Structure 1
Amino acid sequence: MSLTEQLLDILSSLGGFGPEIWLAVSFCVVLLIELLGLQRSKATVRRLLAVLSVVAVLVAGLWAALMPVRGFLFMHLLFVDNQAIFVQVVIALGAGFVLLYEAFTTSDSDVVLRSNSAERPNLPLEWYSLLIAMTLGLFLMAVSVNLLSIYLSIELVSICSYLLTALVGDRKASEGGIKYLLFGAISSAIMLYGMSLLYGMTGTLDLTADVFGTELAQQDAPVVAVAMLLTSAGLLFKLAGVPFHIWTPDAYEAAPVPVAAFFSVGPKIAGVLVLMRVVTSLPLEAPGGTTAVVLQTPLAVLALAGILIGNLSALRQTDAKRLLAYSTIAHAGFLLVGVVALNEAGFEATLFYAGTYLFISLAAFFLVDLLARSNNSDLTISSFAGLAPKQPLLSVALLVVMLALTGLPPTVGFTAKLLSFSALYEAYQQSGDSWLLALFVLGLLNALISLVYYLKIPFLLFFRPADTSSESDSLVPMSKAAVWLTVGVTLPVIILFLKPDLVLRWLANQ
């Protein structure tokens, strides 16, 4: 391609790159306002930055949804399709909800709640620009089809994640950020090694190039599968998938609730789409057998390991955020179930699971935080005892969300698991792989294990008396806007169970 043709391609690609350009400009504007507002009232600057940040991410999501451009951008570095747009819209919604929740629960003083048992400092002003930058990285992940663009977008998300984890600056936050950084560096190195192997085999970094599949088809299938698994290390790290999950509980516990809530949804949704793109780039046939089938078994093992480790580890937790952190590890395994199926129904089920998990996970983090705030307590599970009579609306909402995380009706969590495991059983019938059957059976049985810890907090809320040794029985006043936002995030958990076609119809048109 001549230089003139390259320049013309770049110029024509700008039409499909609007949301990313908007987020990049918004990041610079928010950062500049933050620097210029150092000498002004901190509360005034915070309110301005919150409004600008919410507008930035929601406009980016709306722009992506309405953008008519489809196809390759920047000489096959990026690819815009309906799947990418769906993921971008979900990420923008998640970022918007998190920013609104933080704004509604932030006071004009330096500390939202301060007592002998709970201390919640406001997030530093830098968090707004970092969240926009992380959203930009997730948008880029959603459209990346080149190994180079995939790596760069993952690193942008990772760097922002490390900083957001340690942003509060206390000892726990610093420790969580360092652990996150170390495991991120390891997974990044492994991913780069896998990418180098793929480049050595194919001579290209473009997953969509014909030569990529043609050259891989000439290699032994087990060799290709190993290279693909190594390349997937960075994606498993963003998914909090086994064996790159160890950072999750410490990082989630150290990070403020809005940050941990966004970690639980944004990187997972973008990461699982990139993983689907990597898997579908495999050749159908190779000398050692069908490459996809060779990769299917290790992915099934990783999915099953994530479900078991996440659920069994959550049983022992006494802190609500650590419990939800191990829950996200288990749900990373459930997200992989549809990918393991390696069929269209499985990929569609995975996107449905990822899109609906946004509401379930965000609502879970928001609800436990609000209930703890109302009791002026920390996030220790025992501190939720007896709060249902005092906070009936939030308690019922949390019960609904916990049923959704378990995968029981009448919640969309049931629908998501039904679609994923149906696709997995269909794949088992076609391949006869015993690991797929093991994942199917043990994955469903894990719903019984998860019932024990998911219903622990609702049980305490409704059936255990409040701690009589507390200093005061009175509730701490909460922002009504935060309460109604949280209830609003919870409603789709029921609505999408009754009307799943609201999402399925969009996915079916891809």
Structure 2
Amino acid sequence: MQLKEHLLHIIESLPRVVPETWLAFAFLLLVTAELVLKLTRWSQQTSTVLWFSAFGLSLAGLLLVILQWNAPEGYLFHHLLYLDTKAVFFKGLVLITTLFVLLHIRVTHAQLPPEFYAILLAIVLGLCFMTMAVNGLSLYLSIELVSIGSYLLASLGKGKLAAEGGIKYLLFGALSSGIMLYGLSFLYGMTGSLDLTSEVFANHLAQNHLVIILIVGFLTLGGVLFKLSLVPFHVWAPDVYEGAPTPIVAFLSTAPKAAALLLLMRLLSALPADFQQLMALLALSSILLGNLSALWQNDLKRLLAYSGIAQAGFALVGVVAFSQAGFESATFYIVIYVLTNLAAFLLVDLVSSGRPTLLSLSGKGAQLPVLAVCFVIVMVALVGLPPTAGFTSKLLVFSALWEANTTAPSSLLTTLLVIGLLNAVISLVYYFKIPFYLFFKEAREANHETPKPAGTALVVALTVLIVTLFLKTDWLMLWIKQL
């Protein structure tokens, strides 16, 4: 292909990445605004101005993504990226999550340094590229953009816990990144291409032994599994969740997982080998380790960290089905998980006083009845019980797994089905500790500062949405079935 044709294709691709271009501009604008504001008489209001700027820019980015919904599908920049409705849906989910996190910061008056907002939008930019990545180069660069920003965010808290969590996140992130890059180098050596969608890539890779493909594929998936906090790439999660500010944890536990799930499904569909058994083993390990470890936790954020590991395993159950129903169920699951986790971390900030432990919730059910009831509903959703969308999400992923196991019976899939359902029961023990402390433990404090009405309204809105999507599942599934 001549240089003129290359340039022509790049120019034709540019209008298809308007949201990403906008986010890159927004990042540069926030960095410049921070530097300028600190030199003016508005220096004391820098964080407030940047919050409004970040919210407005993110909202504009969401509108630009929505406009892409009916855009024609196709490759961009010579098969580096692929724009389709799946990418648009997940980009929209990432930006909606970002807006909720910014609202979380506003209603809880979280004290975050001004540079947080620029870093946040840089991560969102990387996540948007992750949803479209179909080439080894774009895959690696987008994950690294997200990872570097995430390391910085995890270290923004105060004290030793934040520093320790940030260092562990960096070390384990660098390790998983190196593993992924090692796998990609093998793929390139075996195929001569990094285009995961090309026939040359698939044909050359299929000529290798199945065991080799599985090993190299697992290495390549390392960076994605790290973002999902799946076993054995989960070690960073509890320390980062405990040490980082709660709004940052709310973001890191939701948006990257959503983008990573789509990227995982794209990778698995591109690799010629059958990864069903390996994914089933990872899902089973994550569900067991996450639930059993959460049983012993007293810190709310560590409890939700281990819960997140288990929830990622449950989302992977839908992927294990390797079917259209499995994709739809996994997508539905991650959307409900994002909504539920956002509500859970906001409630941790609003209800707990001081360090967020189970004891800090004692007696808050009587002091803050509306928030306490919302907390109970959110925990019911994480367990997977009606009348919440958490029940529907677990029903869908296990139904897809049952269908896959009926079509091609496997002892490992049967084990995953049985132990997965049993673990949903085990999770009752630690999730329902929260209602127990809220309503059946005596209050440790005579008074508690009443949260602002805006915070309560945001929690109630998320809780109502979680219940509504149980009653009206089709509202969300109609969008997912179009992907």
TM-score band, normalised by the shorter chain?
Answer: over 0.9
Tell me, yes or no, if the aligned pair for 1:78 and 1:143 is still in contact at 8 Å: yes
Shift of 1:44: 2.1
Q: Is the deviation greater in 435-444 or in 206-215?
A: 206-215
- The residue type paired with residue 238 of structure 1 is K
Tell me, yes or no, if the aligned pair for 1:16 and 1:69 is still in contact at 8 Å: no
What runs of 5+ residues in structure 2 fail to find an aligned partner?
none
Shift of 1:65: 1.6
State the Cα deviation string for residues 188-237 of structure 1 (Å, max 9, x = none): 11111111111112111011111111112222222111111110110010
1:508 equivalent to 2:478? Answer no
Matches within 5 A, 1:464-483: 464-467=441-444, 470=445, 473-483=446-456
Q: Is the deviation greater in 67-76 or in 252-261?
A: 67-76
Please give the alpha-carbon distance, in whole angstroms, between the structure 2 residues aligned to 1:306 and 1:10. Answer: 41
State the Cα deviation string for residues 481-503 of structure 1 (Å, max 9, x = none): 12211221222110111111111
1:344 equivalent to 2:324? Answer yes
Tell me, yes or no, if the aligned pair for 1:415 and 1:497 is still in contact at 8 Å: yes
Please give the alpha-carbon distance, in whole angstroms, between the structure 2 residues aligned to 1:41 and 1:255. Answer: 28
State the Cα deviation string for residues 223-277 of structure 1 (Å, max 9, x = none): 1111111101100100001001000000011110000001111111011110100
2:100 corresponds to which residue?
Answer: 97
1:240 equivalent to 2:243? Answer no
2:311 corresponds to which residue?
Answer: 331
Please give the alpha-carbon distance, in whole angstroms, between the structure 1 residues aligned to 2:458 and 2:360. Answer: 23
**Percentage of identical aligned residues:** 49
Number of matched pairs: 480
What runs of 5+ residues in structure 1 fail to find an aligned partner?
107-111, 113-121, 284-290
Please give the alpha-carbon distance, in whole angstroms, between the structure 2 residues aligned to 1:59 and 1:209. Answer: 34
Please give the alpha-carbon distance, in whole angstroms, between the structure 2 residues aligned to 1:4 and 1:69. Answer: 24
State the Cα deviation string for residues 401-433 of structure 1 (Å, max 9, x = none): 000000111111111111111111111122221
3-state SS of 1:79 partner: strand
1:153 corresponds to which residue?
Answer: 142
1:116 corresponds to which residue?
Answer: none
Please give the alpha-carbon distance, in whole angstroms, between the structure 1 residues aligned to 2:261 and 2:341. Answer: 16
State the Cα deviation string for residues 339-369 of structure 1 (Å, max 9, x = none): 1111111011111111121110000010121
1:484 corresponds to which residue?
Answer: 457
1:210 equivalent to 2:199? Answer yes
Matches within 5 A, 1:183-202: 183-202=172-191
Matches within 5 A, 1:81-480: 81-106=84-109, 122-283=111-272, 291-292=273-274, 295-372=275-352, 376-467=353-444, 470=445, 473-480=446-453
Tell me, yes or no, if the aligned pair for 1:47 and 1:103 is still in contact at 8 Å: no
Q: Is the deviation greater in 434-443 or in 167-176?
A: 167-176
3-state SS of 1:72 partner: strand
Please give the alpha-carbon distance, in whole angstroms, between the structure 2 residues aligned to 1:282 and 1:173. Answer: 38
State the Cα deviation string for residues 450-484 of structure 1 (Å, max 9, x = none): 000001011111122212xx4xx122142221221
TM-score (norm 1): 0.92
Tell me, yes or no, if the aligned pair for 2:47 and 2:113 is still in contact at 8 Å: no
Please give the alpha-carbon distance, in whole angstroms, between the structure 1 residues aligned to 2:121 and 2:84. Answer: 22
* Residue 470 of structure 2, aligned match among 478, 497, 504: 497
Tell me, yes or no, if the aligned pair for 1:124 and 1:168 is still in contact at 8 Å: no
Shift of 1:55: 1.5
Tell me, yes or no, if the aligned pair for 1:87 and 1:355 is still in contact at 8 Å: no
Shift of 1:69: 4.4
1:11 equivalent to 2:11? Answer yes
3-state SS of 1:216 partner: helix
Tell me, yes or no, if the aligned pair for 1:238 and 1:271 is still in contact at 8 Å: yes
